[in-house]
């Protein structure tokens, strides 16, 4: 029995003129390769590649795609080699088959790692030819259609992967029909009871609704015909997963949904779309905030349509999508529709950056560029999952360039979407001409001007609120590079001092020659590990100078030389680049001012080298120091320099008992301001009818300044007591 006949019939139905002999040769090779192989369903294995080819034939793809579908499992599962395919069908098809094959040839340690690595390889394969993705999506569609024969856990894993990766990717390239089917098939496996419930509710309404749908569609068509607009109008029932997702997102019941059924109005030209919209809005009242124009501002996957909701015949809320027949093809088939409309049968689909065939490929290219810049597969997968599932907002540059972003995006996301360099140098943003915080959530239609500086660098705190994968990864990469450089600089200084303490001349060459004994790849890694505290200076000396006598109980190492010039460093990179006026530190070393004791200039301080954190600065009476009393080699002698020589703003934390009366907070603010200080944070603690507790962070110059403020507060009428906070005894949030 030949399974080829239905495929040839599909090609005939689609009007394809591709080479039937080549298709038959590919089918014969697939039959030969998969002979004796049986699917879980009991069918001959060759039925699977034929079905995949049939899906692509329905999309009217080219000959190379059809042949690739027929052969996509031969190199992976049979004795057929890449060279065999190349000799039989040429390098183009051989490379396509190889691209699909590579996605499933990994045996890694965990399913999550395997999934991430497969995703990476998928993107790299797509970067060479987008048809790899189309074949893979068709392969996944057929696998999902026939998943019933698999066991429960494996079935759930495949369905979850489909829901999280393949369905969103189909949506990303505009293939909504395939996305809808993949989501619904996955939904059936992941949440069978929920899907059954939705379907039963839909069935209970079908008989009563069919007549209403036909009547409304007829009235819309008649209305447009009266104004000489030829239109195809039909109602459609939404898929179960789409309905369930809306119920979850809006936290509403099935009965509260007003758009279970939607209507599509297909016209001839874009001009007809707007004419039809005007006629419908004149006839029926519109529902506020339910209008979207994706024709003037297409979605990132090139989707174009007008969406509106009106209170139509018999006071029914009617959701309408108005678009041309060509837009309908793009909406359902995405990139495949571009193939259909732009290249015809047998054409070559080119999506290089200089070919503006579809906005949908831009996001794919962006993801691939991120991968090529060094993102790990898991980072890329996590960021992409978050982004693919989000709706979008449309914003504009001052010159009118449209930037589409995920909903919830901020000006920082916008800056990185414009250009990586713009994002890296961003210092602020104006929205509609008004300066706005960088964490502002952008809205549709916002015009954003990004303010930049040539000396600015990415702020690590941005990672807390950006939503795009590109912004998140670029910021994270910068932070890693900066931290690595800082730890390496600190480690280099530690190595120099360790050598000097033991009467040895420091030599980079000597360190390089000790790499094998240390089992460390590079000299830079040695210094970085020393700085992070994961490599002890004693181990370095032993590796460089085997047999050298090293003090068993040395003095605290490294210590600042008494006559050493004053040195500056940088505050912990995650808090931004601010100079910390402390003597005895290594330039560029990562530093943290202890939140356990809140040191400020004037306090006696010491430094502790903490593994993976750099140098922690603490007051001499800080409780944390007890933890390190048996590790004197981690202590540093530190002292404050003139704070005016840096841009650091010390913060003193105060705890107050104040009267519970009107104007208390205003009085405290005035006192602090009159004494030349600024409040950076306030927390209200226990509040009684007479007294309540306040914790206030005050930006001060030094200890003398803080003492002056405390005295002024004690003299204020509402204040009953003021104490400087040490440690976390107030059980407060760190903001």
pLDDT digits (tens, 9 = 90+) for 553-566: 444 444 433 333 33
Beta-sheet strand order (sheet of 605-610): 579-580, 569-571, 590-593, 614-619, 605-610, 635-637
- Find, among 366, 357, 265, the residue nearest to 318 by Cα: 265
Instruction: Please determine, for residue 1, whether its predicted confidence score (pLDDT) is greater than 60.
Output: no
415, 456 in Cβ contact below 8 A?
Answer: no
Specify the range with the lowest mean pLDDT, choosing from 38-52, 163-177, 440-454, 508-522.
Answer: 163-177
Specify the range with the lowest mean pLDDT, choosing from 378-387, 556-565, 695-704, 709-718.
Answer: 556-565
Place 122 in a pLDDT band, splitting at 50, 70 and 90: low
- Is 50 strand, coil or helix? helix
Residue-wise DSSP of 73-102: THHHHSS--HHHHHHHH-HHHHHHHHHHHG
Q: Which residue has the higher pLDDT, 496 or 385?
A: 496
Q: Can you give the residue ranges of every domain in the chain?
A: 4-175, 195-333, 478-645, 651-724
720, 659 in Cβ contact below 8 A?
Answer: yes
Q: Is 354 exposed, middle or buried (0-12, 13-18, 19+ CB in 10 A)?
A: exposed
pLDDT digits (tens, 9 = 90+) for 42-79: 888 889 999 999 988 888 888 888 999 999 888 877 88
Q: What's the mean pLDDT in 650-673?
A: 88
Residue 606: the pLDDT is 85
Q: Which of 7-16, 486-495, 663-672 tops mean pLDDT?
A: 663-672
- Rounded to whole angstroms, the Cα distance separating 106 from 118 reads 8
Tokens representing residue 246 in the block? 């809306």
Place 258 in a pLDDT band, splitting at 50, 70 and 90: low
Residue 281: the pLDDT is 92
Specify the range with the lowest mean pLDDT, choosing from 76-85, 171-180, 240-249, 250-259.
Answer: 250-259
pLDDT digits (tens, 9 = 90+) for 365-391: 555 555 545 555 555 555 555 444 455
Is 642 catalytic? The answer is no
Place 533 in a pLDDT band, splitting at 50, 70 and 90: confident
- Rounded to whole angstroms, the Cα distance separating 177 from 733 reads 48
- Cis check for the bond before 66: say yes or no (omega within 30 of 0): no
396, 403 in Cβ contact below 8 A?
Answer: yes
- Find, among 584, 587, 491, 585, the residue nearest to 539 by Cα: 491
Residue 120: the pLDDT is 61
pLDDT digits (tens, 9 = 90+) for 434-488: 888 888 899 877 889 999 888 777 888 888 889 887 888 888 888 778 778 878 8
Place 642 in a pLDDT band, splitting at 50, 70 and 90: low
Sign, Cα dihedral of 131, 135, 138, 144: negative
Residue 322: the pLDDT is 95
Is 43 catalytic? The answer is no
Tokens representing residue 507 in the block? 């030599």
- Rounded to whole angstroms, the Cα distance separating 187 from 170 reads 16
CATH of 651-724, one of 3.30.70.260, 3.40.309.10, 1.20.1050.10, 3.40.50.300: 3.30.70.260
Instruction: Please determine, for residue 242, whether its predicted confidence score (pLDDT) is greater than 90.
Output: no
Task: Classify domain 195-333 at the CATH topology level.
Answer: Beta Polymerase; domain 2 (3.30.460)
pLDDT digits (tens, 9 = 90+) for 399-446: 877 787 877 899 999 999 888 889 988 988 899 888 888 888 998 778
Q: Which residue has the higher pLDDT, 394 or 409?
A: 409
DSSP H helix total and E strand total for the chain? 28, 23
Q: Distances in Å between the alpha carbon of 455 and those of 427, 428, 473, 476, 589?
A: 10, 13, 21, 19, 20
Tokens representing residue 262 in the block? 């939607």
Which class would CATH give 4-175? mainly alpha
Place 643 in a pLDDT band, splitting at 50, 70 and 90: low
Residue 61: the pLDDT is 82
Q: Distances in Å between the alpha carbon of 499 and those of 225, 485, 510, 565?
A: 91, 21, 11, 20
pLDDT digits (tens, 9 = 90+) for 272-311: 999 999 999 999 888 877 788 989 888 766 788 999 988 8
Residue 226: the pLDDT is 93
pLDDT digits (tens, 9 = 90+) for 20-45: 888 899 989 988 888 888 888 788 88
- Rounded to whole angstroms, the Cα distance separating 592 from 589 reads 10
- Rounded to whole angstroms, the Cα distance separating 524 from 515 reads 10
- Rounded to whole angstroms, the Cα distance separating 181 from 203 reads 19
Tokens representing residue 153 in the block? 């856990």
- Token pair 């505050």 is found at 571
- Rounded to whole angstroms, the Cα distance separating 369 from 728 reads 45
Q: What's the mean pLDDT in 180-186?
A: 90
Instruction: Please determine, for residue 175, whether its predicted confidence score (pLDDT) is greater than 70.
Output: yes
Residue among 77, 259, 524, 623 flagged as catalytic: 77
- The dihedrals phi and psi of 523, each to the nearest 5 degrees, come to -60, -40
- Cis check for the bond before 558: say yes or no (omega within 30 of 0): yes
Residue 229: the pLDDT is 92
Sign, Cα dihedral of 58, 64, 65, 66: positive
Place 131 in a pLDDT band, splitting at 50, 70 and 90: confident
Q: Widest CA span of the chain, in angstroms?
A: 101
Q: How far is CA 592 from the centre of its chain?
A: 28
pLDDT digits (tens, 9 = 90+) for 328-369: 877 776 665 554 434 444 444 443 333 344 444 555 555 555
Residue 386: the pLDDT is 44
- Rounded to whole angstroms, the Cα distance separating 78 from 72 reads 11
- Is 310 strand, coil or helix? strand
- The dihedrals phi and psi of 429, each to the nearest 5 degrees, come to -155, 150
Instruction: Please determine, for residue 191, whether its predicted confidence score (pLDDT) is greater than 90.
Output: no
- Rounded to whole angstroms, the Cα distance separating 590 from 573 reads 6
469, 515 in Cβ contact below 8 A?
Answer: no
- The dihedrals phi and psi of 38, each to the nearest 5 degrees, come to -125, 140
409, 468 in Cβ contact below 8 A?
Answer: yes
Alpha-carbon torsion, ordered 573, 578, 579, 584, to 10 deg = -30
Q: How far from each other are the two terminal CA atoms of the chain, in whole angstroms?
A: 72
Q: What is the mean pLDDT of the chain?
A: 76
Tokens representing residue 720 in the block? 């009953």
- Rounded to whole angstroms, the Cα distance separating 341 from 324 reads 13
- Token pair 């969103």 is found at 168
- Find, among 240, 242, 220, 239, the residue nearest to 231 by Cα: 220
- Is 508 strand, coil or helix? helix
47, 1 in Cβ contact below 8 A?
Answer: no
**CB atoms inside a 10 Å sphere around CB 427:** 13
Residue among 43, 58, 76, 699 flagged as catalytic: 76
Instruction: Please determine, for residue 94, whether its predicted confidence score (pLDDT) is greater than 70.
Output: yes
Q: Which residues, in sequence order, are CB contacts of 88 under 8 Å at separation 6+?
A: 25, 29
Place 124 in a pLDDT band, splitting at 50, 70 and 90: low
Residue 415: the pLDDT is 93
Place 105 in a pLDDT band, splitting at 50, 70 and 90: very low
- Predicted TM-score of the model (pTM): 0.51
Q: Which of 93-107, 211-225, 351-365 tops mean pLDDT?
A: 211-225
For residues 193-207, b (16+ Cβ closer than 10 Å) or e, as one string? ebbeebeebbeeeee
């Amino acid at each position: 029995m030949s399974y080829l006949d239905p495929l040839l019939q599909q090609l005939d139905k689609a009007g394809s003129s591709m080479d039937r002999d080549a298709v038959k040769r590919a089918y014969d090779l697939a039959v030969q390769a998969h002979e004796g192989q049986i699917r879980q369903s009991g069918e001959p294995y060759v039925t699977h590649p034929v079905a995949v080819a049939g899906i692509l034939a329905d999309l009217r793809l080219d000959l190379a795609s059809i042949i690739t579908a027929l052969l996509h499992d031969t190199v992976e599962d049979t004795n057929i080699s890449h060279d065999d395919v190349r000799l039989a069908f040429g390098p183009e098809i051989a490379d396509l088959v190889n691209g699909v094959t590579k996605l499933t040839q990994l045996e890694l340690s965990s399913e999550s790692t395997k999934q991430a690595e497969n995703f990476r390889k998928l993107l790299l394969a797509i970067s060479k030819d987008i048809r790899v993705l189309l074949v893979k999506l068709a392969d996944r569609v057929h696998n999902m259609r026939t998943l019933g024969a698999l066991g429960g856990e494996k079935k759930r894993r495949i369905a979850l992967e489909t829901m999280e990766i393949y369905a969103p990717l189909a949506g990303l390239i505009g293939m909504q029909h395939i996305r809808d089917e993949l989501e619904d098939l996955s939904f059936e496996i992941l949440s069978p009871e929920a899907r059954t419930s939705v379907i039963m509710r839909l069935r209970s309404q079908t008989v009563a609704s069919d007549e209403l749908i036909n009547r409304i569609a007829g009235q819309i068509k008649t209305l447009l015909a009266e104004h000489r607009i030829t239109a195809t109008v039909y109602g459609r029932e939404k898929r179960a997963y789409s309905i369930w997702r809306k119920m979850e997102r809006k936290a509403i019941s099935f009965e509260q949904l007003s758009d279970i059924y939607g209507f599509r109005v297909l016209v001839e030209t874009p001009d007809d779309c707007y004419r039809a919209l005007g006629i419908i809005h004149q006839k029926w009242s519109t529902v506020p905030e339910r209008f979207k124009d994706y024709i003037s501002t297409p979605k990132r996957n090139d989707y174009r349509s007008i969406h509106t909701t009106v209170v139509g015949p018999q006071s029914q809320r009617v959701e309408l999508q108005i678009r041309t027949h060509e837009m309908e093809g793009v909406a359902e088939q995405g990139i495949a529709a571009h193939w259909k409309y732009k290249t015809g049968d047998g054409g070559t689909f080119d999506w290089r950056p200089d070919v503006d065939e579809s906005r949908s490929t831009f996001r794919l290219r962006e993801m691939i560029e991120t991968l090529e810049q060094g993102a790990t597969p898991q980072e890329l997968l996590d960021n992409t999952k978050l982004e693919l599932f989000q709706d979008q907002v449309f914003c504009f540059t001052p010159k009118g360039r449209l930037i589409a972003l995920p909903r919830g995006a901020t000006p920082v996301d916008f800056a990185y979407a414009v250009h990586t360099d713009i994002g890296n140098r961003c210092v602020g943003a104006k929205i509609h001409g008004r300066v706005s915080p960088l964490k502002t959530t952008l809205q549709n239609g916002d015009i954003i001007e990004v303010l930049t500086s040539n000396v600015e660098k990415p702020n690590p705190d941005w990672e807390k609120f950006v939503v795009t994968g590109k912004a998140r990864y670029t910021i994270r990469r910068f932070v890693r590079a900066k931290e690595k450089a800082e730890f390496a600089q600190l480690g280099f200084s530690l190595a120099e001092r360790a050598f000097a303490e033991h009467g040895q001349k420091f030599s980079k060459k000597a360190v390089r020659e000790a790499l094998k004994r240390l089992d460390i790849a590079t000299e830079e890694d040695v210094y970085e590990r020393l700085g992070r505290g994961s490599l002890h200076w004693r181990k370095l000396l032993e590796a460089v100078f085997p047999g050298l006598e090293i003090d068993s109980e040395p003095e605290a190492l490294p210590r600042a030389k008494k006559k050493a010039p004053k040195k500056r460093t940088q505050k912990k990179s995650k808090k931004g680049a601010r100079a910390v006026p402390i003597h005895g530190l290594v330039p560029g070393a990562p530093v943290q001012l202890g939140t356990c004791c809140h040191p400020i200039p004037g306090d006696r301080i010491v430094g502790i080298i903490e593994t993976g954190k750099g140098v922690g600065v603490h007051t001499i009476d800080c409780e944390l120091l007890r933890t390190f009393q048996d590790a004197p080699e981690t202590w540093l002698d530190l002292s404050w320099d003139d704070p005016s020589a840096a841009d650091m703003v010390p913060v003193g934390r105060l705890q107050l008992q104040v009267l519970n009366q009107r104007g208390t907070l205003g009085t405290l603010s005035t006192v602090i301001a009159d004494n030349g200080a600024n409040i950076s944070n306030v927390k209200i603690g226990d509040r009684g009818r007479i007294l309540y507790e306040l914790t206030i962070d005050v930006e001060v110059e030094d200890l003398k300044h803080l003492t002056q403020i405390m005295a002024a507060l004690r003299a204020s009428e509402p204040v009953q007591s003021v104490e400087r906070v040490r440690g976390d005894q107030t059980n407060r949030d760190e903001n």
